[in-house]
Amino acid sequence: MKKILFLIISICLITLIGTNFLFSQGVMNNLDDVIVYPNPCILSKGHTQVIFSHLTEEVTIKIYNVKGKLITDAYVAMTNGAVVWNVTNNSEEKVGSGMYLYLITNSLGHKATGKIVIIR
């Protein structure tokens, strides 16, 4: 059963904007309950992506380093409730260890903010 579920989830993921962001299923009405996981994202333990879930359909996700520099961003029109970040910058290079800040906004004016820790 686990192998079948993993296969279904893998098939549902579709590449969007290069390989920086992907999306899957389950749309929300607002951004009040956004979940970001795994957090911390530990690359040495096999984590290869960060999932933003409980999203509305239209979102813009921006990820900054702690100095405020934009690392990557994406506008996603149809999220199906989740977006996957492949832990890369806009040049599709893996980001380094550290704390990153995210800002998620939608067309209704809702927003969600938080921190993501990446450990190599």
pTM of the model: 0.77
- Going along the chain from its start, the domains and CATH numbers come out as 2-119 (2.60.40.10)
CB 21 within 8 A of CB 90: no
Q: What count of Cα atoms within 13 Å lies in the side-chain half-sphere of residue 87?
A: 25
pLDDT one-digit tens code per residue, 72-104: 999 998 778 889 999 999 999 999 999 999 999
pLDDT tens-digit readout, 21-51: 554 446 788 999 999 999 999 999 999 999 9
Q: Does the pLDDT value for residue 119 go beyond 90?
A: yes
> What does the pLDDT read at residue 104?
97
Contacts of 17 (CB under 8 A, 6+ apart): 74
For the CA atoms of the chain, what is the radius of gyration? Answer: 14
Encoded tokens for 96: 């380094």
pLDDT reading at 112 higher than 90: yes
